[in-house]
Structure 1
Amino acid sequence: MARKIGFYGILAYVIYGLFFYWYLFHFADTSLQFEYEGTRADPATFLNGRELMLSEEYSKIRNLLFFLSTPFEWLFYLFVLLLGLGNAFKKWAGQSTKLKFVQSAIYLFWLSLFAFAATAPLSYISYSLSKSYNISTQSFSSWMKDELIDFWINFGMMIIIVGVLYWLINKSRKRWWLYAWLLSVPFTLFMMFLQPVVIDPLYNDFYPLKNKELEAKILELAAKANIPAEHVFEVNMAEKTNSLNAYVNGIGSNSRIVLWDTTLNRLNDDQILFIMAHEMAHYVEKHIYFGIAGYLLLSLVGLYLTARIMEYVIGRWGKVLKIPAVNDIRSLPLFLMILSMLLFISSPLSNFVSRYQESRADKYAIEMTKNTDAAIGTFQELTRAGLSQVNPPLLVKIFRYGHPTMLERISMLEEYEINHKVKENE
């Protein structure tokens, strides 16, 4: 039975991979509709021939890697269960100490280490791809350092999460998912509070914006939006990437508006002010808090479904998967696999909500700045810097895009410009 499940698991993954290869490289049409040709949303008007070719090549390969990576994680956890690696991890943990919590930590370390090793080839391919297309400027040693920081941060958080999770399962087999969710609320808020000041600085250097004249313009913009901002931060990213970005993260007194130095180097002041107005819109319209609420709602549903699915799977295939009970630490790979599947399935919904919020932020920004040339120039430069597709395939948009496509964003700005001119002439 274990061989049969393993065979069908590999077969499903191969068929899935071939489908997306065919879809991305042979079926999906990324050409523009006739009415957009020659507009400022047409990449042929602002990218040269080589940039157009590279953006198509890079996007196709990067999208294929995305669609292969997540199901590969599921396949990894499935084979951890089928091959009985969980039994070996638990045995090694039991031989090391009698303390249950420490045993769980040791089990988790081995599982995390094997997962890190299994997914390392895909991670390296992704890194090499961005390097070969001149998106990444990061050295291998710097990239490996970030990977190891990721490993240890995730491992440290998982020690706490898994320890509490299995303590709750042992206390309440029926309602552990509800208690886990209730505890996840303050934990999520705490981590969002820590993110800007503790976790992010482990990867990059943050400091107040050096260009004080530009900072004064940004703070003036913030004052118009009634945002109590005192500083804008910039982060040193040029040694890692040529991409451009700006974002708002954190909550409460730790919330920050952050600009990448690559953005500062490649965009003019008017373009940067449009980006800042966009980020301020998220604050004004409380998108961060709506995002937290949405995440917590989805996590409640996700934990409930995970609990029900785990009970069903272990009841039916527990012996084959070598899981004696839900409250046994050897059920952890199953828990992680189901949760990952549910996150993937729910991503079209969360991306749809995110695209709506980003669209609202774009409209807010152009209403505040009234500078369509700067706004359109910003999106064109973002496209060039990231070798992004202006009009990505439908499945890519649904599963990957938390922002509207560049076609949608630039077209909205052109429509705004036309309407604005009509109103001026009336």
Structure 2
Amino acid sequence: MTRTTTEAAPGFRGAGWALAALGVATLAVVAFTTPWRVLSAAPAVVPDPARDFTADQIARSEAFDAAVSVPAYLSLGLALVVAGALVSTPLGARLLGRLKGPWWLRALLGVLVLSVAVEILRWPLGMWSETHLRAYGLSTQDWLSWTADRVKNIGIRTTLLAIMVLAVVALARRYRRWWIPAAVGAFTLTVAVSFAYPVLIEPVFNDFTPMPAGQLRDDLLAMAARDGVSVEDVLVADASRRTTALNAYVSGFGATRRIVVYDTLLRAPVDEVELVVAHELGHAKTGDVLYGTIVGGLGAAFGACLLYLVISAGAVRRRTGVASPADPRAVGLIMGLLSLATILSGPAQNLVSRQIEARADAHALDLTGEPAVFVSMQRRLSVTNISDLSPDVIEYVLYASHPTAPQRIAMARSWALLNGMREP
């Protein structure tokens, strides 16, 4: 039977205890698995962009960052305004109250309507950003392929969001303490998506082919074997159809784990390509994707409990005009809370990610013993990708999932001194 009354939600205290337990568990996993100190007793080399990049390269980086930051900040501000309106006003409930049909259809239509409305507002900002990428030579797409990729991205995100929102409404209609199955479901969905992402989502945007037979492929597989990392193959993504940027990554775990290099990266010197792959082997060796998935799953379960507590609060229900999450009109409130949670958790995720990336850098240096090549590789990546060499504090906190290039180069020099080598 559907519950739509405004009485205090049952199990409020239980959800609070579960929230606390999941919070402690998440913090414990993060605290004990994050490499907070990558190099021990290493001489401190101060990051200095001017030491490795010319004045023109630094100026170009600053100009590019200034150009793309405006649409990025506007997009973030728009997301915050929309989410704030959905969680603090009856706007969402009034809009979705006009929808007709069974509850599940109204819930799905609510997700679709609000998602489309937000994406229409964000679309000009995306085009603005794309024009800057083209002006600086980073984008190789025409407007048709850019639109196709963006629509596919929106479709995937909206589908996942619809699954989550529909599950919350359905569980709230079926169970009084719906936070319990919601937390379990959130954890399970996070693990499932992480596992399936390489084989279901990535092929939507890129074609992947095994690296062609040859000396480079043999050397990379031999390096993986020497590192004790099981790698069936190294895949090449046709990234050049949309960008000139250089990159590589590892995704999935278990049977779906894969190391992928952009086809653009293959234009770099062989020793630099090997070092980039050595970095990715570091992620695979330490199980970073698996640990990240576990942390993400715990965070998702934490979020489900928090969602229950927030929606159960009388003040929130009064402001939004939503009596219960079992009401399809609550879709806007749920979407707003999910959006705020994603934005607010970003800085913490970036903090952990930067440490994990630094550990993978150290692993690459341990495996190859080539700090000079590492420095050369970081210069090439930074210049080609027009990386921000000295982001301000806000940008660093909000967007930096990796250490800056000067920080990574300084770490490589510290590694060299720590290992009795000449500072490159």
Distance 1:43 1:194 in 2: 39
Q: What's 2:363 paired with?
A: 364
Q: What's 1:87 paired with?
A: 94
Q: State the SS of the aligned residue for 1:91.
A: coil
Distance 1:117 1:389 in 2: 29
Structure 1 or 2: more helix by fraction: 1
Q: Deviations over 1:322-368 (max 9, x none)?
A: 43433222222222222322332222222121111111111111011
User: Unaligned 5+ residue runs, structure 1?
Assistant: 1-34
Structure 2 counterparts to residues 14-413 of structure 1, below 5 A:
42-79=48-85, 82=89, 84=91, 86-92=93-99, 94=100, 97=101, 99-173=102-176, 175-210=177-212, 212-265=214-267, 267-312=268-313, 315-316=314-315, 318-413=317-412
Bigger mean CA offset, 223-232 vs 336-345: 336-345
Bigger mean CA offset, 279-288 vs 57-66: 57-66
* Superposition TM-score, scaled by structure 1 size: 0.82
* Change over 3 Å in CA distance of 1:238–1:57 after alignment to 2: same
User: Unaligned 5+ residue runs, structure 2?
Assistant: 1-43
* Superposition TM-score, scaled by structure 2 size: 0.82
Contact 1:244–1:385 (CA under 8 A) maintained in structure 2: yes
Distance 2:92 2:394 in 1: 35
Contact 1:137–1:242 (CA under 8 A) maintained in structure 2: yes
Report the CA distance between 1:319 and its aligned residue.
5.0
Compute the RMSD of aligned alpha carbons: 2.4
* Change over 3 Å in CA distance of 1:36–1:420 after alignment to 2: closer
Distance 1:159 1:343 in 2: 16
* Change over 3 Å in CA distance of 1:185–1:212 after alignment to 2: farther
Distance 2:262 2:125 in 1: 26
* Change over 3 Å in CA distance of 1:214–1:385 after alignment to 2: same
Contact 1:78–1:334 (CA under 8 A) maintained in structure 2: no
- Output the amino acid matched with 1:325: S
Report the CA distance between 1:56 and its aligned residue.
0.3
Distance 1:163 1:348 in 2: 28
Q: What's 2:420 paired with?
A: 421
- Identical aligned pairs, as a percentage? 25
Q: State the SS of the aligned residue for 1:238.
A: helix
Report the CA distance between 1:85 and its aligned residue.
5.3
Q: State the SS of the aligned residue for 1:53.
A: helix
Q: What's 2:29 paired with?
A: none
- Output the amino acid matched with 1:51: Q
Report the CA distance between 1:70 and its aligned residue.
2.7
Q: Deviations over 1:371-409 (max 9, x none)?
A: 112111111111101211223222222221121121211
Distance 2:80 2:310 in 1: 15
Distance 2:295 2:92 in 1: 36
Distance 1:317 1:190 in 2: 32
Distance 2:56 2:78 in 1: 33
Contact 1:69–1:122 (CA under 8 A) maintained in structure 2: yes
- Output the amino acid matched with 1:205: D
